[in-house]
Each structure stands twice: as C-alpha cells, then as structure tokens.
Chain A
Amino acid sequence: MTDSSDGAFPPGARVRVRRAHPPGHVRTPHYCRGHIGEVERLCGHFRNPEELAYGRADHAPLALYRVRFRQRDLWPDYAGAVDDSVEIELYEHWLEPAR
C-alpha cells in the first residue's frame, strides 16, 4: 500500500497544488489550490474519483499523496502557532513540482 518507490514525488518533495476549477466530482479542496506543501507520504494508488463518479473505472490507478501545508501559508491571517499544519490527501494529477 505504501510503496514510496512508485510515485513521482518522494516524501519531503515540495509540491504546488494546481489552481484549477474543473467541474464535476473533485476531491481537491479549494482552500489548498495554488498553495505549496510538502509530501508527507505516498498512500498508494487509487482510481480517480473524478472518473469513478461518472461510472468510468477503466483507467490506471493514480498515485495518492498526503501533503502537509503550513497553516500560515494557507491562511494569511492564521492566529495559531507557527508550526500548525494541515495534511490533505491529493492525487498526483493535481500536483506539480515547486521550488
């Protein structure tokens, strides 16, 4: 399930969530789109919910990652501690490399 050798992004890689707004059943929360986080782990490979929602299951499973974001990067007015974080599950096609 957690084969870290089989994804484009290793743990620790910095990634940016695509700032896209496609219609349909999308499991990428709006609040993280366009933001940079760090890959915490590869969760495994799963079928794309954006396709499954329309009954299409004949596609290769996608890598699914847990990505850690600093709260202060997501919310400029975040009032909690500096190190506070959010971890979100994101499919590979929503991620691009970030510096």
Chain B
Amino acid sequence: MTGDNGATSENLPGSGHEHGHRHPNQPDLEDGPLGYYPAMADAVAELLIEKGVFGADDLRATIDYMASRTPALGARLVARAWRDPDFKRALVADSRAAAETLDIDTGPTPLLVMENTAHVHNVIVCTLCSCYPVFLLGKSPDWYKSRNYRSRVVREPRAVLAEFGTHIAPEREVRVHDSTADMRYMVLPMRPGGTDGWSEEALAALITRDALVGVCEVTR
C-alpha cells in the first residue's frame, strides 16, 4: 500500500519494523490548546454530572442516539408519502404525528415539511447559525454551515443551486426557507418519473440528504 507521502506499509509508524530512524507521531486532537468554548462545554457537562442532573452514561447515550440519526429516516417518510397520498397530506399537516405512525422521532422542535411541486422548488437554510433537521437527516454537512452557502442561497438561490448541478426551470418558483427561530424544515422532493409500482424500500434508496435539504432533485 502506498500512502499520500509515498510511505509503504513497511515504514509506517507502529509497524514494528525497525529501520534506523523515527517518524513523527500522528497529531492528536488534544495537541493544541483547549479553546474557550470547548473548555466551557466540558465544564458545564462536568457540573451537570456532578450535581446529578444527569449521569455520564445519559450524556453518552444521548450523543450515541443523535449520531444514529441518518437521512434514511427522512427518506423513509418521503417514500411512504409518495406511495400514500393520505400519509403525504398528514406529513405536510403535522409531521410529528405522521412520523410517529412509522415510529420515527422528529425531535423536540416543530418540523415543517415543504412539498416540491411543478410550480415550487423549496430549499432550506439557516442564515443566522446552522439550524438543521438533525432528527431526520443526522449531522449537517459542512457546506450547510458555511458562510458561503448561508449568505448566498437567500440572495442568489438559482446560482447556488446551479453550483450543485441543479437547474430549476424559470417558471417554477424557488422558495427559500430561512430557519431563523423555532421551526425546522425538510423538503418533500418530487417523485421521479418511471418509478410506478416501486416498493417503498426501492423508492427510499433514491432519496438523498441533499434532496431533503433541497439543493438537488431526486432522479432515477
């Protein structure tokens, strides 16, 4: 195997093979100084545990639960909505109640599902920070949190979408949703043609995170 620096497996650190000179250790996360906010986060967590508000195992389990959330959850809701018009109406009207029928937790914050149609294409942003439907899509991608995306998608959404390879016909309205306060958003993309009779699982496999944020459409 050849790494980026041309090293072979014989001279990688830790290979146990002595060859007369040393290689630097791989840097650890803790090598740099602890920043103000990481120090504050650690201190608050330690205080809450010390005061018995919750245990270290509760904190670990919560992080584990959040890390288990993936776009497959959002995709399942959309695939069901494509196959079941009643479910689609319920999902748009009250996403929490509709998702509960599939045992999917939409989280503590109200979640609004915005349906794409032949007339409207929806796209999600949080210009103030990085609000994101974590319970249905998991951790947000770095570009979603970037100043570039956040500042430009509200001002020139069609140019930003084009950079993602998405070209919305001029007769369709592009509607940007800025998650500035107490709502979270997920896009309900349009079902691609040629998928009549497809199973929910086959449909769900087509649905990507980016389509649920609205920076692309779903294709076969």
Contact = CB atoms under 8 A, between A and B. Distances in A.
Nearest to A91: B181
B173 interface: yes
Nearest to A65: B181
B196 interface: no
Interface in A13-63: 27-29, 31, 43-44, 46, 49
Contacts of A84: 157-158, 173-175
Contacts of A95: none
Nearest to A44: B110
Nearest to A75: B155
B128 interface: yes
A74 B127 CA distance: 15
B153 to A, nearest CB: 9
Interface in B74-120: 110
Given A29-B127, A31-B154, A85 B178 contact: no
Give the size category of B's interface with A. 20 to 34
Given A29-B127, A81-B170, A1 B178 contact: no
B183 interface: yes
A66 B183 contact: yes
A81 B181 contact: no
Interface in B152-176: 154-159, 170-176
A46 B141 CA distance: 28
A46 B157 contact: no
Given A29-B128, A43-B110, A80 B157 contact: yes
B70 interface: no
Contact of A83 (B158, B173, B176): B173
A16 B154 CA distance: 19
Contact of A29 (B170, B171, B177, B180): B180
Nearest to B122: A87
Nearest to A1: B110
Contacts of A71: 157
Contacts of B159: 79
Most chain B beta carbons < 10 A, residue from A71, A79, A86? A86
Nearest to B121: A84
B181 to A, nearest CB: 4
A58 to B, nearest CB: 19
B182 interface: yes
Interface of A: 1, 27-29, 31, 43-44, 46, 49, 64, 66, 68, 71, 74-75, 78-81, 83-91
17 contacts: A27-B180, A28-B180, A29-B178, A43-B110, A43-B182, A46-B181, A71-B157, A75-B155, A78-B155, A81-B173, A84-B158, A85-B174, A86-B175, A86-B178, A87-B177, A90-B181, A91-B181
Interface of B: 110, 127-128, 154-159, 170-183
Given A1-B110, A27-B180, 8 more contacts: A44-B110, A49-B181, A64-B183, A71-B157, A79-B159, A81-B171, A85-B174, A89-B181
